[in-house]
Structure 1
Amino acid sequence: MRHSLIRVTSQPEPRLTVSSNSETEATTSVSSAFIEANTVSIVLSELQQDHIIPVYVKDNEPLISQADFIQATQEAASIIFRGEQILSPQIRCSHPIKGRIPEAKDKPANQLLEWERTLYYERMMFLLEIPSIVNTVDNNQLTLTIGGVKAYNLDNLYNKKGAAEHFKVFVGFNNLVCTNLCVRTDGYLADLKVSHIDQLYACIQQLLSTYDQHQYLKQMQTLTEYSITEQQFAQLLGRCRMYLHMPTEEKKQIPPLLYGDSQLTTVCKDYYRDTNLCKKEDGNISLWKFYNLLTGANKSTYIDQFLDRSVNALDFTSQIQGAIQGQSSSWYIG
């Protein structure tokens, strides 16, 4: 599986500024959470006003804040998709880092006042839905969606300002039937490294301006044309579990699968029980539904692994499709 790798060293032109109360950020999606795991829902104003910003230890200079990352993405999206409706961000955070102000260093934790506490979340993921760009695959409505991940655990906080910071940025689709996130390799920057907010903005804008949504939609549509039988599904799921425990050298000969036992159990359960994505009466299931079983199971993934597994779901399903078409062989279904 190939991921985009960008390392920016030059200083781009300063980005345009868009008012935070732009008409394009009208409302927030009312759909259910796109990721569950151990995350909590946060609003942008809370990130901006209540959360401290980590600093580089050697010079006490701040890293790019999660709120600035979200706003840079909003600004880039409002330029590239000018005239489209862009909803307010859905934000999920995990791994809280708690602290206290120096004046409260001797207080018992249960006596701390709110203003004496400090907080930031180590990991954050957000989505910007564009409901005015909508398509349909197998009667499932898909809206264009942009977003990213900022995980401070990937940065070297013991460095000085100017060191590269790590970001993940994507553009894909959100399946409104199940709020599953659909991301393809060409819409994903898995390891974006920048040292300045303007560099980050430039990379986001470049990704959005070059993304070919029609090619992705065409690929997803073809998944509806192929199915696997109940026997093939059982063999596939069994081989997936075997893959997790194979010796490393043997794994290198097989297309990678990034899903663990808990996610595969969810796929099996939803094969029978999911109202929208379950098997037919004869046990057959389309590759489109199988793909969505994978992306649905991905909701239990932690933030820092979520997008990699999302991309892997499509790569894996496409590899199975190639085997069914006779274009390639697959160890997973024989």
Structure 2
Amino acid sequence: MAFIIEVPTISTDVAGNRLNLTIGGVKAYSLDNLSNKKGADEHFKVFIGFQNKVCTNLCVSTDGFKADLTVRNMQELQNAIYCLLQQHDAARQIAQLKSLANYQLTERQFVQLIGRCKLYNYLPAQVKADIYPLQFGDTQISAICKDYYKDESFCRSDDGSINLWRLYNLFTGANKSSYIDTFLDRSLNAYQFTEQIKFALGNQRHSWFLS
């Protein structure tokens, strides 16, 4: 079970894409004890972020997501969502999303990134521990590869390069194939992962995914 509320009166433009403020959540049945009686703790995942109206991709940031919200009634759920609204810094998220278009991956860097993403899930645990986590599997990475060439809105440039705004949307687009219980977690991971790549490019820092 999921719910979503769009607030079209609060919107912005990023690289020619209209983004509307969106609030929503998922009933996390996988975290519930289904044998409990009514009135027992129930778990939700809730978010506030922006939806890209070009493709319906969802942009979720760190301060706009609560992965394990435990409530016992509707009032507690409403209060928790209200608190999330208060802590979410929409202006900061918009600024960060807009900045992604200023960073580019060459075709070679993109190929390196995809290869590392494919390898990541098969790394030994001790090696993974030192690498920024990636929650996307082979199915999603393959979709990113396809859309790198074929997506009408976010494909590569003629020289093979791709800016991070487009890359981010390839990740959020691929996330649409995820099951509902992992969708929001991967939405956040796409944002954090792209921010890590941006940091590596902007500060000329080492990134395992680009090395």
User: Is 1:305 aligned with 2:182?
Assistant: yes
Residues 322 and 329 of structure 1 are in contact (CA less than 8 Å); yes or no, is this contact kept in structure 2? no
Between Structure 1 and Structure 2, whose CA radius of gyration is higher?
1
2:12 & 2:44 partners in 1: Cα distance? 28
Of 132, 138, 142, the match for 1:255: 132
1:323 & 1:246 partners in 2: Cα distance? 21
Unaligned runs of 5+ in 2: none
1:153 & 1:227 partners in 2: Cα distance? 39
2:23 & 2:198 partners in 1: Cα distance? 27
Give, in angstroms, the shift of residue 139 of structure 1: 0.4
User: Is 1:191 aligned with 2:68?
Assistant: yes
* Partner in structure 1 of residue 170 of structure 2: 293
**What amino acid is aligned across from residue 68 of structure 2 in structure 1?**
D
2:56 & 2:152 partners in 1: Cα distance? 14
User: Is 1:314 aligned with 2:155?
Assistant: no
Following TM superposition, where does structure 1 have runs of at least 4 consecutive aligned residues deviating by more than 6 angstroms? none
Q: 1:8-35 CA deviation, whole Å, 9 max, x = no partner?
A: xxxxxxxxxxxxxxxxxxxxxxxxxxxx
Unaligned runs of 5+ in 1: 1-123
**What amino acid is aligned across from residue 278 of structure 1 in structure 2?**
C
* Partner in structure 1 of residue 158 of structure 2: 281
Give, in angstroms, the shift of residue 199 of structure 1: 1.3
Q: Secondary structure of 1:278's partner?
A: coil
Of 212, 234, 240, the match for 2:117: 240
* Partner in structure 2 of residue 182 of structure 1: 59
2:109 & 2:156 partners in 1: Cα distance? 12
| 1:8-19 alignment, distance < 5 Å | none
* Partner in structure 1 of residue 36 of structure 2: 159
**Higher helix proportion:** 2
- After TM superposition, the structure 1 stretch with the greater mean CA deviation from structure 2, 244-253 or 260-269, is 244-253
Q: Secondary structure of 1:186's partner?
A: strand
Give, in angstroms, the shift of residue 327 of structure 1: 5.2
Of 126, 131, 146, the match for 2:23: 146
* Partner in structure 1 of residue 5 of structure 2: 128
**What amino acid is aligned across from residue 43 of structure 2 in structure 1?**
H
**What amino acid is aligned across from residue 192 of structure 2 in structure 1?**
D
Q: Secondary structure of 1:224's partner?
A: helix
Residues 164 and 194 of structure 1 are in contact (CA less than 8 Å); yes or no, is this contact kept in structure 2? yes
Q: Secondary structure of 1:183's partner?
A: strand
User: Is 1:218 aligned with 2:95?
Assistant: yes
2:186 & 2:91 partners in 1: Cα distance? 22
Residues 18 and 53 of structure 2 are in contact (CA less than 8 Å); yes or no, is this contact kept in structure 1? yes
Give, in angstroms, the shift of residue 162 of structure 1: 4.1
What is the RMSD of the two structures over their aligned residues, measured on CA atoms?
A: 1.1
Residues 63 and 87 of structure 2 are in contact (CA less than 8 Å); yes or no, is this contact kept in structure 1? no
Of 36, 41, 47, the match for 1:170: 47
- After TM superposition, the structure 1 stretch with the greater mean CA deviation from structure 2, 200-209 or 289-298, is 200-209
* Partner in structure 2 of residue 229 of structure 1: 106
